[in-house]
């Protein structure tokens, strides 16, 4: 009996030592997969531009994005929770992979192929429909300044900031410094655009140990560790808009510098 207890104690000690290591390995694996997903989306974005005379995929901000020829968008549909009225965004959008691949008008879906690359595996968000919980299908958004529509709700493009319509327009910041795709916070993501410039109106994800993932116009991907605690917020399953510039937040400044830049005539 004593020998059995000793063996059990040893197993418990080993398990205690191994579980944290396994947890860290799993977290690293999620990060690698997330970066690979963004890499594939970035490639699809490039292929779309190659086949459309250098024109970037649309980034429509309204609910009509991708559903009609006059509102082309890289992705259709919006993410939400059942805590938000369905008259604003249909609940079915959150679970419909057909809005990703093949997607709607102006979609990069034909180049992306797999709907799985639109969502980070570490994103465990869900929506309740008909009494059952269903995983949501997208966690990625696109930088609004990458061919975004001119007006989105209460937010409009500043005439003094660059809006990139073609690959050749991406000069300032350079392609290696201009982000295209970002993994977005569960409570922030709705439509396909990420609004950042003169402050941010949406919030990046921090699922990877307090870090976010990005792809850039030159094709590379990065993980960015956040420096300000205001950037890292818990998931509350309530759609929220993160308005304001958050003074002194170095994370906001980092993203603003990589979203767009001021034109020479800016005051």
pLDDT in tens, 25-34: 565 777 889 9
d(CA 47, CA 44): 5
For residue 267, tell me if it sits in a domain: no
- Residues paired with residue 262 on neighbouring β-strands, in sequence order: 161
The per-residue pLDDT for range 193-222, each reduced to its tens digit, is 998 876 678 899 999 999 999 999 999 999
d(CA 254, CA 196): 10
For residue 18, tell me if it sits in a domain: yes
What residue has token string 């094709």?
219
Q: How confident is the model at residue 117 (pLDDT cuts 50, 70, 90)?
A: very high
113 with 73: CB under 8 angstroms?
Answer: no
| pTM score | 0.87
Q: What is the pLDDT of residue 154?
A: 44
For residue 135, tell me if it sits in a domain: yes
151 has pLDDT over 70: no
For residue 172, tell me if it sits in a domain: yes
Our count of domains for the chain comes to: 1
For residue 185, tell me if it sits in a domain: yes
Q: Domain range spanning residue 193?
A: 2-259
For residue 265, tell me if it sits in a domain: no
For residue 209, tell me if it sits in a domain: yes
Residue 155: C-alpha distances to residues 62, 96, 141, 148, 159 (Å): 11, 27, 17, 12, 12
For residue 266, tell me if it sits in a domain: no
The per-residue pLDDT for range 61-91, each reduced to its tens digit, is 877 888 999 899 999 999 999 988 766 788 9
What secondary structure letter does DSSP report for 59?
B
- 239 vs 102 pLDDT, higher one: 102
Residue positions counted in the chain: 267
Q: What is the pLDDT of residue 264?
A: 85
């Amino acid at each position: 009996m004593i020998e059995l207890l000793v063996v059990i104690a040893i197993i418990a000690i080993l398990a205690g030592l191994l579980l944290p290591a396994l947890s860290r390995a799993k977290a690293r694996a999620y990060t690698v997969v997330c970066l690979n997903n963004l890499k594939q989306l970035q490639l699809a974005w490039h292929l779309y531009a190659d086949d459309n005379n250098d024109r970037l995929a649309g980034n429509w901000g309204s609910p009509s994005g991708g559903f009609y020829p006059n509102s082309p968008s890289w992705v259709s549909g919006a993410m939400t929770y059942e805590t938000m009225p369905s008259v604003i965004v249909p609940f079915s959008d959150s679970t419909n992979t057909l809005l990703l691949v093949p997607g709607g008008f102006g979609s990069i879906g034909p180049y992306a192929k797999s709907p799985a690359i639109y969502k980070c595996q570490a994103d465990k968000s869900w929506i309740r429909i008909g009494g059952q919980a269903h995983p949501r299908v997208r966690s990625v958004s696109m930088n609004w300044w990458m061919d975004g529509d001119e007006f989105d709700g209460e937010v409009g493009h500043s005439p003094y900031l660059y809006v990139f319509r073609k690959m050749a327009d991406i000069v300032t910041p350079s392609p290696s410094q201009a982000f295209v795709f970002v993994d977005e916070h569960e409570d922030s993501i709705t439509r396909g655009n990420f609004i950042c410039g003169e402050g941010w109106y949406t919030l990046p994800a921090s699922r990877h140990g307090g870090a976010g993932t990005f792809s850039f116009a030159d094709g590379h991907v990065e993980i960015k560790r956040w420096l300000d605690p205001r950037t890292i917020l818990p998931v509350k399953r309530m759609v929220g808009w993160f308005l304001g510039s958050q003074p002194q937040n170095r994370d906001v400044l980092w993203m603003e510098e990589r979203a767009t830049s001021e034109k020479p005539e800016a005051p």
